[in-house]
Amino acid sequence: MNRTWNQYVVKRENKTLVLTTIINHMPISRANVAQVTGLNKGTVSSLVSELIDEELVKELGPGESSGGRRPVMLLFNGNAGYSISIELAIGNILGVITDLNGQIVNEENIPLQTTDFNTIFPIMTQLIKKLIQQAPKSRYGIVGLGIGVPAVVSQKGEILLAPNLDWKNINLKEKLSEIFHLPIYVENEANAGAYGEMRYGSSQESKHMIYTSLGIGIGTGMILDGKLYHGLSGFAGELGHMTIIKDGRSCRCGNHGCWERYASEQALIDEGLNRQLITNDQAEPLDELIKLAAAGDKEVIKLFEEIGTYIAIGLTNCINIFNPEHVIIGNKLMKAKEWIYPVIEAYIHDHAIGFHQNKLKIDSAKLGIYSPVSGMAAFVIEGFLFDRKTTQE
């Protein structure tokens, strides 16, 4: 490594540090950036000038001063570009445009009647094109595209297995790259949800967090020591397929007694049909069950409580394994929070090993159904801003 290269790397790292400091502390003066980063004022001043020229930072009127001339405050310019994020769920595709602060500026939701990839792919690409057209004009335009999928995803953005979609070995990133010449990120939906809650949601402070996505299946994303945990090949977090019942219900993953066969939205709907609480001609069976519970139907409330107990059994296992500070429960089943949540809390309180409970917080996802798309936006934005070397390059 020669001297010039070294200087280049140091400068790039300093610039990233200055930009990160402005994003995390804005509005902030140049002098305070120097104080926070430990860089000298001259260096900060010249890096800030570059960032202003690049339209990533802008100046706000004078800020508070304890005396003397009031300093000019710096802001990160969240409107310098936009990100497109998609959550490909079972039964719908949610697409959003966010600014560089991760704020959603527009969204589109398309219901799906099928899980056939060849039908869904063109629907998804049309949606992406529509969102690209809707994005406000900006210096950098669309800075990237992020897709969250309920699947085991390889480090190259290939869907290896999506049991609930019945997909195997689909190179989604490659297929999208043929159409969209943008940085593309494909990630497991629960990992994206965990990242979204960590960056923009209810877990911005905790370094040890488990996010559980309760949809048609169950996915979990883990933030361990402040980082999204991927495991050796990026497959960590398939906790929906941990066995909770010996010789239990068969699962599409090939195993029996998996957690998601007892505690997911699909498990709820299956049991609702079994017990003839709903009929199979309902377009939105979960909403129908919620309506019945709200009207005081005791059998339906009992079913929600049973599902809540199964959710809590799996969460208790997660808590005992990972000793998290924060457990966040997200996705569609939380629409029934009113009946499920108290059961979960009480069960964990009675069953998780006591030491784990000292500092443990359990919450529903602050971003609601937007946790995964927000996480995908964060991957895209950080890739753009920090030239982050991702595992998918």
Least distance in angstroms from the C-beta of 311 to Zn ion:
16
**Residue number with CB closer to Zn ion (163 or 324):** 163
**Residue number with CB closer to Zn ion (161 or 224):** 161
Least distance in angstroms from the C-beta of 254 to Zn ion:
7
**Residue number with CB closer to Zn ion (30 or 241):** 241
**Residue number with CB closer to Zn ion (251 or 340):** 251
Please list every residue from 214 through 273 that binds Zn ion, using CB under 5 A: 241, 251, 253, 255, 258
Least distance in angstroms from the C-beta of 262 to Zn ion:
11
State the chain's maximal CA–CA distance in angstroms: 75
Tokens of 222: 């883990």
Q: Where are the beta strands (DSSP E) in the chain?
A: 28-29, 57-62, 72-76, 82-88, 92-99, 104-111, 142-149, 152-153, 159-162, 167-170, 184-188, 209-214, 218-224, 227-228, 326-330, 361-364
Least distance in angstroms from the C-beta of 166 to Zn ion:
13
**Residue number with CB closer to Zn ion (217 or 330):** 217
**Residue number with CB closer to Zn ion (18 or 251):** 251
As to burial, measured by CB atoms within 10 angstroms (0-12 exposed, 13-18 middle, 19+ buried), residue 361 is middle
Least distance in angstroms from the C-beta of 248 to Zn ion:
10
Q: Interface with Zn ion includes 94 (CB under 5 A)?
A: no
**Residue number with CB closer to Zn ion (259 or 379):** 259
**Residue number with CB closer to Zn ion (163 or 193):** 163
- Site size toward Zn ion (CB under 5 A) is 5
**Beta strand 361-364 with 326-330: parallel, antiparallel or unpaired?**
parallel
Q: Token match 């998996």: residue? A: 258
Least distance in angstroms from the C-beta of 257 to Zn ion:
8
Omega cis (within 30) before 136: no
Q: Residue 253 to residues 119, 188, 214, 311: CA-CA distances in angstroms? A: 23, 16, 17, 19
Can you give the C-alpha Rg of the chain in angstroms? 23
Least distance in angstroms from the C-beta of 194 to Zn ion:
20
The packing angle between helices 298-322 and 265-274, to 10°, is: 150
Least distance in angstroms from the C-beta of 337 to Zn ion:
25
As to burial, measured by CB atoms within 10 angstroms (0-12 exposed, 13-18 middle, 19+ buried), residue 243 is middle
Question: What is the per-residue DSSP string for 165-214?
Answer: TTEEEE-HHHHHHTT--S-EEEEEHHHHHHHHHHHHSTTSS-SSEEEEEE
Q: What are the residues binding Zn ion (CB under 5 A)?
A: 241, 251, 253, 255, 258
